[in-house]
Structure 1
Amino acid sequence: MKNEQQPPLQLKFLGGAGTVTGSKILVKTDNHQVLIDCGLFQGLKELRLLNWRKPPLDVAKLDAVILTHGHLDHCGYLPVLVKYGFKGPIYATKPTRDVTGIILRDSAKIQEEDAQEANRYGYSRHHPAKPLYNERDVERTLPLFETHPQDKWIELNEEMKFCFRNSGHILGSSIVEFECLGRKFVFSGDLGRRHPLLMHPPALLPTADYIILESTYGDKLHSETSPYQEIAEIVNHTFSKGGILVIPSFAVERAQELLLILNTLRQEKSIPPMPIYLDSPMGINVTELYLNYTDWHSLSPAECRTMMHDVHIIRDFELSLHVLDNINPKIIIAGSGMVTGGRVLYYLEKLLGDKKNTVLLAGFQAPGTRGSLLRSGANDIKIHGSYYTVHAEVKQIGSLSAHADQADLLWWLSHFKEAPTRIFLNHGEAQASEELRLKINDTYGWNVAIAKMGATYNLW
């Protein structure tokens, strides 16, 4: 008598492995394929070039995409997938759908503008330079979304079902609890901290056969200094020099945190009454979402009002050109958070050359990004084909990070009642993932592997 063979079940990491961008995880059986996240590669050129390759999966056989949240490194590749024939569905929470719409439209617009600039000034090797996707591709993608609340199981097919659980990272972000062929997977997505400033803490889950865990800060502990104190010191220092403080900011959560902190400090008279400019169309639109989704964050109505109190809103780039008409001290929050594009580039072109000014990096800076170069003390930065000397002070704070640090990740894992069969670490640089692997192994004795890009893992 023949032994019954168990059906094959595979995980394949198509992105977000050995790096913090391009998150894509394929779950595959003989009959079905589902992609968890569909992110864009950012940072190093060798990674960005991967965005231009043919999708590393058979799009025609893909049943669905499940999004953990709306950051570009988790959703930004969706229009490319659609260009290659994917017809959906894309599962997400309602806030994630709305955040993704804002992010993708802005991404397409920036790509189109960058291609036009490259063609106008001839600094691209491609003739003509073209965007990876355009706004029309985005508008074909958004109708494919199907939204579901957290904590409700959704049947995908006879083999698979999933449930969104709160991850505490950004508005609408979720852990994906996923069952397939009798095995339970937990995809952490980007996991938030134990005590987030704006979000509710991440959900604690009791069991899993396989955990796919991010490791962005797997080798670090966040500063215990209050972000209010850190930012107050930097604002006051810049004001004392008579300079301008420019803060490259992620549009989702980071911009809202900064606005809340700065306005609170102004009201308390802990900083001078410097004008605050929010020059990020995405940041403005996302801030409005906080008023629409009050159950998805921990802010009170009063705090929501404080967040936008007496802030100069810049929607049109033509208005951006006049923000620096006077050189009086001011605070400018502009996208993007890793200085990869967006309005902040215009301000840096104007402000980097003056030592009175300060650039505040308030989030993770992936290797190869301009933000990473600024953090490491680069003497000059290339923007729109030209180099700009860095005389401005560059500061960085870690107290605002929306990612769990090593202690947070170990705390979250401690709530699983039994050892998982295996943990896969992804979404981290090599050192961060390796240090977290060793820490988990030393602390719990669990089986931990570091996911490799392009690798297929046969689970039984």
Structure 2
Amino acid sequence: MAIVKLHFLGASGTVTGSKYYLETPELNLMIDCGVFQGIKELRLRNWERLPIRADQLNAVLLTHGHLDHTGYLPRLVKEGFKGNIIGTAPTLSITAIILRDSAKIHEEEAEQANKLGYSTHDPALPFYTVEEAEKAIELFKAEERDQWISLSENIRCRFRYNGHIIGATFIELEIFGKMFVFSGDIGRKGDSIMEDPERPDWADYLFMESTYGNRLHPQEYVDDMIVGLIERTIQQQGTLIIPSFAVERLQSLMHLLWTLYKKNRIPNIPIFVDSPMGNNVLSVFESYPHWHKLPMNEYKAMCNHVNIIASYKDTWKTIDDPRPKIVIAGSGMVTGGRVLTYLKQLIDEPSTTVLLVGYMAEGTRGRQLLEGAHELKFFGKYHPVKATVAHLESLSAHADQQELMDWLKDIKNIPEKVFLVHGEPTALDVFRNKVRDTYGWNVHIPKLNEVMEIVI
């Protein structure tokens, strides 16, 4: 008999902060190590020390590189973790880019807050520094997908392709003969860049994301909508601003605009990609061609079609450029990054259009815009929203309810328990009922910091 103690340290009742800690007789493991995003109450939790001994943690396994799955790693190392951080090679490449970029942003925001005096903390400190990010990156260990990796005598794991973003996987973790499956974020079938997700065939304990557990992606006419927004931008002599995640979303948008141009659906309007992190991510697509569907000649043509912004000086040149233009800039939910500079300068212009793409978490500026906010706060000051706001949900990299249900259909056994995570309360509740009614499985929605013992 063996006892596994589960700690739900994140993504419980919310879509961010994914962290699951497993105490076993042989090893202590963490699956993902992300930060909370969105409402202030959640973001403040990032500053709290974890209720575990980081120095007693043996390894961290990463499903993919997004910040809400990796952004706590430098803090974990600061708290005493010295083990391996394990993931696929593209996941670790993406994670390194994201940690370095976010550390730089943390340092810059702290410096600006101290300079302008808008922080309640004196002095304002970065959540982590570039130096602390580098210490975490030193612990990275890449593993091949689909290969079983022995972690101890009775524990092994493997990473399986999951779409969503480059390098993303779900994790099968076998502990004393029982299969623990962590879905990570599940991608979509028929994505323009990523292959279809693989599916698990056995799960004794399943940890399942539920971001879109209560809805289907709308059948939007994406091409027509994009064409219409670009036509409006040209007529208004304005700017179409698209906040974008640097990984997968940015590349999908570039590919969509390039395809529309090739089909003569849109003119050769200037397209600016202003995301230092996104530019680095493009090199990951070139380094790992077997992890996506883009042929290299198509990829290079797509990259040559856009203007890559290299410096903050060029950001201001782009803002001052009088031509109608498209700007794709991070971050996707308008929580930080270069897009804030564009919005601060242009969101009060009626000729500006802001296109939100995909999921906007509760408490983010993206959600505020989606819900019709008449003003937004940037760098301590409020700015009136006079821009037109549009939304494209079907370009999300997350599976919708039906795609989540399809992901489960190859599981041959009846799981002993299904844990629904990574969803807001309504999505979790609806998806729980859907899984129960369809499969009759035992479904549980864990609370944040809940601890549960499993006897094997």
| TM bin (shorter chain) | over 0.9
Output the CA distance in 2 between the equivalents of 1:399 and 1:304: 22
Note if contact 2:14-2:425 (Cα within 8 Å) is conserved in structure 1: yes
Give the length in aligned residue pairs: 455
Distance 1:386 1:47 in 2: 22
Describe how 1:343-358 pairs up with structure 2 within 5 A: 343-358=338-353
Moved over 3 A (4+): none
Aligned-residue offset at 1:307: 2.2
* Percent identity (aligned): 48
Aligned position for 1:181: 176
2: distance between equivalents of 1:230 and 1:182?
51
Is it true that 1:436 corresponds to 2:431 in the alignment? yes
Q: What is aligned with 1:34?
A: 29
| 1:315 is aligned to 2:310 | yes
The residue aligned with 2:333 is 338
In 2, distance between residues paired with 1:452 and 1:168? 28
Cα distance in 2 for residues equivalent to 1:354 and 1:376: 19
Match of 1:74 among 62, 69, 77: 69
Is the contact between residue 157 and residue 172 of structure 2 (CA under 8 Å) also seen in structure 1? yes
What does residue 3 of structure 1 align with? Answer: none
Q: Pick from 193, 205, 208: which aligns with 1:210?
A: 205
2:233/2:325 contact within 8 Å kept:
no
Aligned partners of 2:171 and 2:276: how far apart in 1?
Answer: 29
String of CA shifts for 1:34-79, please: whole Å, max 9, x gaps: 0000001111111111111112211111010000000000000000
Question: What whole-Å deviation, never above 9, does each CA across 1:75-111 have from its counterpart, x for those lacking one?
Answer: 0000000111111200010001100010000100000
Correspondence for 2:254: 259
Query: What SS is found at the alignment partner of 2:33?
Result: coil
Deviations 1:194-234 (A, max 9, x none): 22221111112211101110000001101223433332222
What CA distance in whole angstroms lies between the structure 2 residues aligned with 1:129 and 1:240?
44
8 Å CA contact 2:26, 2:152 repeated in 1: no
Q: Which position in structure 1 is the counterpart of 2:443?
A: 448
What is the CA–CA distance in structure 2 between the aligned matches of 1:216 and 1:44, rounded to whole Å? 16
Structure 2 residue aligned with 1:236, among 220, 224, 231? 231
Q: 1:149 aligns with which of 132, 144, 147?
A: 144
Deviation at residue 121 of structure 1 after TM alignment: 0.5
Q: Which amino acid aligns with 2:153?
A: E
SS in 2 for 1:90: strand
> 1: distance between equivalents of 2:407 and 2:224?
27
Instruction: Report the Cα offset of residue 241 of structure 1.
Output: 2.4
Q: Out of 396-405 and 23-32, give the one that drifted further.
A: 23-32
Alpha-carbon distance between aligned partners in 2 of 1:180 and 1:338, rounded to the nearest angstrom:
37
Any conservation in 1 of the 2:114–2:122 contact (CA below 8 Å)?
yes
Q: Secondary structure at the match of 1:37?
A: strand
Counterpart contact for 2:214–2:431, Cα < 8 Å: yes
Question: After the TM superposition, which residues 41-80 of structure 1 pair with which residues of structure 2 at under 5 Å, given as runs?
Answer: 41-80=36-75
Name the amino acid aligned to 1:61.
Q
Using the TM superposition, give the Cα deviation of residue 440 of structure 1 relative to its aligned residue in structure 2, in angstroms: 0.8
Alignment of 1:109-188 (within 5 A): 109-188=104-183
CA distance in 2 between counterparts of 1:433 and 1:140 reads: 36
Residue 327 of structure 1 deviates from its aligned partner by 2.5
Give 1:390 shift.
Answer: 0.1
Give the corresponding residue for 2:10: 15
Measured in 1, the distance between the counterparts of 2:398 and 2:426 equals: 17
Corresponding residue for residue 384 of structure 2: 389
Give unmatched runs, 5+ long, in structure 2.
Answer: none
Q: Which runs of 5+ in 1 are unaligned?
A: 1-5
* DSSP-derived class of the 1:49 partner: helix
**Which of 433-442 and 235-244 deviates more?**
235-244
Residue equivalent to 1:101: 96
| Greater Cα offset, 273-282 or 413-422 | 413-422
Give the AA of the match of 1:169: H
| Cα distance, 1:275 vs structure 2 | 0.0
**Preserved contact between residue 165 and residue 194 of structure 2 (Cα < 8 Å):** yes
Q: Counterpart of 1:279?
A: 274
| Cα deviation 1:101-133 (Å, max 9, x = unaligned) | 100001000000000110010000000100011
Return the alpha-carbon distance in structure 1 between the equivalents of residues 32 and 427 of structure 2. 21
Which residue identity lines up with residue 280 of structure 1 in the other structure? S
The separation in 1 between residues aligned to 2:176 and 2:207, in whole angstroms, is: 17
1:311: Cα distance to partner?
1.1
Equivalent residue, structure 1, for 2:397: 402
Structure 1, 141-150 or 218-227: larger mean CA deviation: 218-227
Counterpart residue identity of residue 277, structure 1: F
In 1: Cα distance, 2:143 partner to 2:56 partner: 23
Tell me if 1:305 matches 2:300.
yes
CA distance in 1, matches of 2:325, 2:53: 51
Task: Name 1:327's counterpart in structure 2.
Answer: 322
* Aligned residue type for 2:282: T
Question: Which position in structure 1 is the counterpart of 2:82?
Answer: 87
Alpha-carbon shift at residue 31 of structure 1 (Å): 3.8
- The TM-score with structure 2 as length reference comes to 0.98
